[in-house]
Homo-oligomer: A and B are copies of this chain.
Amino acid sequence: MEFAHIVKSFDEDLAQINQMVMEMGGIVEQSIEDAAVSLVHRDLAKAAQVIASDKLVDSIEEQLEEKLVRVLALRQPQAQDLRLVVAVFKVAADLERIGDYAKNLAKRVQIFAEIQPNTSNSERTIKRMCLLVQKMLKDVLDAYIGKDAALAEDVWMRDEQVDQMHDGLFRELLTYMMEDPRNITPCMHLLFIAKNVERMGDHTTSIAEQVIFLVTGAKPTEKRPKSNTTLSQEV
């Protein structure tokens, strides 16, 4: 009975852990969309909401870490269970980073509301990038809960689209900057925003790798298609 008890308890812990991951993930998913919409519509209230949500995400991450440490101490999980706990630490860190990037996008909305630049085209591209990453994040969280390696692999491959959009945007923004010096400041901000969205995609891809590893026991073997640009791809 003792054994069954311990096993059951770990399952209960796991259910709680997964609930926290999903809660964090859900908030971050929403923040990505809200940040993009707040930029395009200069919606300062929505931007403020994204900034506030990030505090909540940080606090859930802290609680989740505490929970994971307690599980390690009390249950001393082995093999697969131990791998899972270690993976969740990383997934939580990735989610926290994505939340940070969304917050940083939201912070720049304030600047855009003040300077009112004429960059709506590029802003819409950024919104599309954000929605792509948001869908990737939704799918990777589904893959995590459903132990669906195929879906995680699909997310992993999709990051290439985000990278390509980022490359296109990078070139477009450089052109605007060269055309008119008044474009330089707003385009700079958009370049940093675009880079942040591209990084959100990278962190989503990292989560996908954790899911693939948890389900199959191996890292993705296929070489991920990478856009060929020393110009814009670096971190």
Contacts and interface: CB of A to CB of B under 8 A. Distances in A.
A86 B69 contact: yes
Residue in A65, A68, A178 whose Cβ sees the most chain B Cβ within 10 Å:
A178
Contact of A111 (B82, B188, B191, B230): B230
A186 B107 CA distance: 26
For A76, A83, A89, A101, the residue with the greatest tally of chain B CB atoms inside 10 Å of its CB is A76
Interface string A85-116: 01001100100000011001001101100000
A73 B69 contact: no
Contact of A178 (B79, B100, B110, B181): B181
Contacts of A235: 100-101, 104, 196, 199
Q: What copy number does this chain have within its complex?
A: 2
A191 B184 CA distance: 13
Given A89-B86, A89-B89, A234 B181 contact: no
A181 B235 CA distance: 24
Contacts of A86: 65, 68-69, 72, 89
Give the 8 A-B CB pairs with smallest separation, nearest first: A104-B234, A76-B76, A178-B181, A104-B235, A177-B184, A73-B82, A178-B184, A73-B78
Interface of A: 65, 68-69, 72-73, 76, 78-79, 82-83, 86, 89-90, 93, 100-101, 104, 107-108, 110-111, 174, 177-178, 181, 184-185, 188, 191-192, 195-196, 199, 230-231, 234-235
24 contacts: A69-B82, A69-B83, A69-B86, A72-B72, A72-B86, A73-B79, A90-B93, A93-B93, A101-B235, A104-B234, A104-B235, A107-B234, A111-B230, A174-B184, A174-B185, A174-B188, A177-B177, A177-B181, A177-B184, A177-B188, A184-B184, A191-B191, A192-B234, A196-B235
